Amino acid sequence: MSAGDEPDDELLGRILLTRVIEPGDEVGGRWVRELGVGAVVRRLGEGGVALPGVSGKRWAGLVARAQAARPRRDLEAARDAGVRFVSPGGVEWPGQLDDLGDARPLGLWVRGRPSLRMWALKSVAVVGARACTEYGAHMAATLAAGLAEQGWVVVSGGAYGVDGAAHRGALGAGGATVAVLACGVDRPYPRGHTRLISRIAEQGLVIGELPPGDHPTPSRFILRNRVIAALTRGTVVVEAAHRSGSLVTARAAQRLGRHTMGVPGPATSGLSAGVHDLLRAEATLVTDVTDVVELVGDIGELAPDRRGPVLPRDLLEPATRQVLAALPGRGVARPDEIARSAQTAQDDAIARLYELRALGYVERHGDGWKLTRQAVMSVRDGRGLS
């Protein structure tokens, strides 16, 4: 919601429930689906008889959490940190998260300028070991850079090792990346990645289910992985031991019908043993970005096809229209030139260019950007972009 909007009861209720119900709690999710947000909040506020599916002791703990929650304060703290709350059914909500059923997030806290829904349309997860080898870091960064250069959004968990290498690879290519955290997005974790996560928030998106200031726990890391899997078109695992958390992401992707991919490692490496197990099952072996794009591209375009009708310009946000208008009718322009013409920051221009890429308006050529043929034709015909 916009900074000046007055929050409605539904929004405040969902924000309250992010303080009460743990991520991925299917019992709480069922309450919300069957009774509605307002009724669940009211029952928690009243205490009394427990809702079905929890013990008396567990219900008492949830009631205590609800009584301590201050949703308006959380919303104000988020706004002060440049964070917004995105609810299911809202214009920015990625519909593919609904595939999680009752484990669907109650909402997502989002830090960064781009539209989460638009970025999720063409996204790939790159995950793997925290204590990765040089080979693992190299493969993650190379794959992420290649994906970014081809217009894909790279999603990972912001952790040390493969996650960090994937984010840096995408950022280094001037591309788009999303970090999904297991804590409040206003308090980056791990602390050693504070600068990296801040850079992701400037050039991309940082998202999470937990309200401002909340801390990560081992179970929250595991449950966070279902969001990474559901949000993306496919998951690539680069190095993972037998009990790696990244295997949880891969298996969640398989359950959700997403593509699951693995990068093979040395047969003698324990850090690749989990990946090799995946490859012996239903995962697909990939060794470069071409392998990945060929696979995820077969899912079918979730965004409008570039050769089809271009969405009307008046459906775009004003700032995005301004960036679109800054591109020349012919030829390629660099991001700094586009930003200057659109009177915005270069990071903002790049973020909006990737939104326009997902919609079929623009395409990337080397270090520059140009209008697609369909976009140019629409301008000439006086439709679509007029």
- The CATH number that applies at residue 147 is 3.40.50.450
Do 287 and 331 reside in the same domain of the chain? no
Mean pLDDT of 218-226: 94
For residue 341, give every residue at least 6 positions away whose Cβ sits within 8 Å of its Cβ, in sequence order, or none: 326, 333
Instruction: Map tokens 């693992």 to a residue.
Output: 136
Cβ-contact 123, 230 below 8 angstroms: no
Cβ-contact 237, 275 below 8 angstroms: yes
Structure tokens given for 140: 């993650």
Q: What is the mean pLDDT of the chain?
A: 89
81 in a domain, yes or no?
no
Domain final position from 235, 266, 299: 299
For residue range 204-219, list pLDDT tens digits in order.
999 999 999 999 999 9
Do 230 and 271 reside in the same domain of the chain? yes
Do 203 and 238 reside in the same domain of the chain? yes
At residue 301, the pLDDT reads 42
Do 216 and 291 reside in the same domain of the chain? yes
Do 57 and 116 reside in the same domain of the chain? no
Do 294 and 321 reside in the same domain of the chain? no
Average the pLDDT over each of 54-58, 146-150, 219-223, 374-378 and give the range with the smallest value.
374-378
For residue range 110-142, list pLDDT tens digits in order.
999 999 999 999 999 999 999 999 999 999 999
Q: CA 308, 312, 313: angle at the middle one, nearest 5?
A: 125
Q: Domain total for the chain?
A: 3
- Long-range contacts made by residues 215-221, C-beta under 8 angstroms, separation at least 24? 215/183, 215/184, 215/187, 215/189, 216/181, 216/182, 216/183, 216/189, 217/182, 219/22, 220/22, 220/23, 220/182, 220/183, 221/157, 221/182, 221/245
Rounded to whole angstroms, the Cα distance separating 116 from 127 reads 19
Do 230 and 255 reside in the same domain of the chain? yes
The answer, yes or no, to whether residue 315 has pLDDT greater than 60, is no
Cβ-contact 186, 81 below 8 angstroms: yes
At residue 7, the pLDDT reads 80
Do 187 and 293 reside in the same domain of the chain? yes
Do 149 and 277 reside in the same domain of the chain? yes
Do 129 and 220 reside in the same domain of the chain? yes
Q: Calculate the dihedral angle through the C-alpha atoms of 236, 242, 244, 245, rounding to the nearest 10 degrees.
A: 80
* Residue 348: CATH number of its domain: 1.10.10.10
Do 136 and 273 reside in the same domain of the chain? yes
At residue 2, the pLDDT reads 46
305 in a domain, yes or no?
no
27 in a domain, yes or no?
yes
Using DSSP, state whether 6 is helix, strand or coil: coil
386 in a domain, yes or no?
no
337 in a domain, yes or no?
yes
Cβ-contact 17, 106 below 8 angstroms: yes
What residue numbers bound the domain in which 354 lies? 313-381
308 in a domain, yes or no?
no
Q: CA 125, 349, 76: angle at the middle one, nearest 5?
A: 75
Do 294 and 317 reside in the same domain of the chain? no
89 in a domain, yes or no?
no
By DSSP bridging, strand 108-111 and strand 83-86 are antiparallel
Mean pLDDT of 43-48: 92
76 in a domain, yes or no?
no
Is-cis flag, bond preceding 188, omega within 30? no
